[in-house]
Amino acid sequence: MCPRGSNRSVELGALVAPQPPSPSEAEGPAPIATLPAPRRIAANGIFSALECRQEHEKRVDHDQRRWKRGVSRRRSDRLGRDPVQQSLVNLLPPATLAAILAFWGLAPAAWVEAPWSLPAVAVGTVVFVQCLEFVFERHAGWRMNWREFATDLFYFGFFFFVIGWLSDTLINSPLRELKEAWGIGTPWLAELPYLLQALIALFLFELGQYWMHRAMHNWTPLWLTHAPHHHLTQLNAMKGYIGNPIELFLISIGVIALLDINLDALFASITVGSAIAIYAHANVRADPPIWYGFFFTTIRNHSLHHTATSYEDTRCNYGNSVIFWDRLFGTYKEGESAIVGQDDRKRLSIREQWLFPLRPWLERRKAVRD
């Protein structure tokens, strides 16, 4: 047999077999490409490189089959404990959307116009879904710790207070002024029922987000701003707010300011879209009904967009909240990935996330200096 431990010696060029996935990374599809790459070590033993490679392949295959059987048993046990409870958990995402729509539709005008209403609904949704992660965990490998929570909380505040102000000052206010100056109007939209107004605003905003997101995966300068978001090694309720500031500003751009839409419907479209995206990043074992997954993004198809298998495998399921546009434009892919990240799943610090678009320039500068 070829030695398994990395401290044992083999012939020069032999390979050390990777360890099987840990329990913390279980519960999800993990093709061989996601396993740690074999490491070369110096050696002076009696085993040939070919023998070690063959042994390595046998072990990988065995570990993969044993791991998948274990995942299947765990999933069966988990769902088999209380199928009624799981069915109710699956209804949580659509129930949350219904509650948000009901709030804005029934709230008094004074509440809708109050400056606290929009932040209150946004924060309440995040807190609710974050609490669900502790009760109905989907993957143990995505379990929240204090370091992750502090980073998530920082970005959540940064997005709403800094990016929100920049977006309103540099994009929304100029668009509103342009709308008045050019006489652009959609009075027919304001005459539609409240629910229809909210859905039209949501789907139009997400159509722009779809093409922006798709461009980020197909043009290097934009990818450099978006890549930090794909270096996330776990998904949680607030992970949708994490990224390079340039990307966060770009994804806040929309054309809703050009629409004549009632304030309650506008706020409903914003908070419903946010709630969908929060669930799409949350470590909650909720698999919503088929009709929900046909139109809206879920953790299953969005985790596949974050897969660690390769960069090419992330080029699907671009919808942040509305997966319907992926279905329409042919970029939808079915599946789920429990192992997420990029570049060997390297977790970036906040400083590295903010400097990431400058990485090519910094690397060239370092090479010249060396």
- Residue 10 is assigned to a structural domain of this protein: no
Mean pLDDT score, 102-130: 96
- Residue 338 is assigned to a structural domain of this protein: yes
Do 96 and 177 reside in the same domain of the chain? Answer: yes
- Residue 177 is assigned to a structural domain of this protein: yes
pLDDT tens profile 263-299: 999 999 999 999 999 999 999 999 999 999 999 999 9
285, burial (CB in 10 Å: exposed 0-12, middle 13-18, buried 19+): buried
Mean pLDDT score, 153-173: 95
Do 120 and 245 reside in the same domain of the chain? Answer: yes
- The rounded distance, in Å, linking the Cα atoms of 109 and 218 is 44
How many other CB atoms are there within 10 angstroms of residue 70's CB atom?
A: 15
Do 70 and 94 reside in the same domain of the chain? Answer: no
- Residue 157 is assigned to a structural domain of this protein: yes
Do 115 and 52 reside in the same domain of the chain? Answer: no
- Residue 9 is assigned to a structural domain of this protein: no
- Residue 6 is assigned to a structural domain of this protein: no
72: part of which helix (H) or strand (E)?
helix 49-81
Handedness of CA 304, 306, 311, 312 (dihedral sign): positive
- Residue 3 is assigned to a structural domain of this protein: no
Do 48 and 150 reside in the same domain of the chain? Answer: no
Given this model, what pLDDT does residue 298 score? 98
Instruction: Decide which of 66, 81, 96 is a domain's last residue.
Output: 81
Do 338 and 360 reside in the same domain of the chain? Answer: yes
Do 342 and 273 reside in the same domain of the chain? Answer: yes
Q: pTM to 2 decimals?
A: 0.77
If one compares 102 and 58, the residue with the highest pLDDT of the two is: 102
Do 255 and 174 reside in the same domain of the chain? Answer: yes
- The rounded distance, in Å, linking the Cα atoms of 361 and 62 is 44
Do 176 and 69 reside in the same domain of the chain? Answer: no
231, burial (CB in 10 Å: exposed 0-12, middle 13-18, buried 19+): buried
105: part of which helix (H) or strand (E)?
helix 92-106
Range(s) of the domain holding residue 170: 83-369
Given this model, what pLDDT does residue 81 score? 59
Joined tokens for residue 134: 């502790």
Lowest mean pLDDT among 61-65, 162-166, 326-330: 61-65
Do 33 and 132 reside in the same domain of the chain? Answer: no
**Total structural domains in the chain?**
2
Question: 26 with 62: CB under 8 angstroms?
Answer: no
Do 196 and 302 reside in the same domain of the chain? Answer: yes
* CA angle at 301 for the pair 296 and 302, rounded to the nearest 5°: 85
- The rounded distance, in Å, linking the Cα atoms of 145 and 136 is 16
- Residue 125 is assigned to a structural domain of this protein: yes
The CA distances from residue 349 to 151, 156, 231, 249, in Å, are 9, 16, 10, 19
Instruction: Decide which of 62, 81, 100 is a domain's last residue.
Output: 81
Given this model, what pLDDT does residue 57 score? 53
Confidence of residue 13 (pLDDT cuts 50, 70, 90): very low
Across the chain, mean pLDDT equals: 83
> In the predicted model, is pLDDT for residue 22 greater than 90?
no
pLDDT tens profile 46-57: 444 445 455 545
> In the predicted model, is pLDDT for residue 45 greater than 70?
no
Instruction: Decide which of 41, 61, 81 is a domain's last residue.
Output: 81
> In the predicted model, is pLDDT for residue 29 greater than 50?
no
pLDDT tens profile 314-367: 999 999 999 999 999 999 999 999 999 998 888 999 999 999 999 888 888 887
Given this model, what pLDDT does residue 69 score? 52
If one compares 19 and 245, the residue with the highest pLDDT of the two is: 245
> In the predicted model, is pLDDT for residue 370 greater than 80?
no
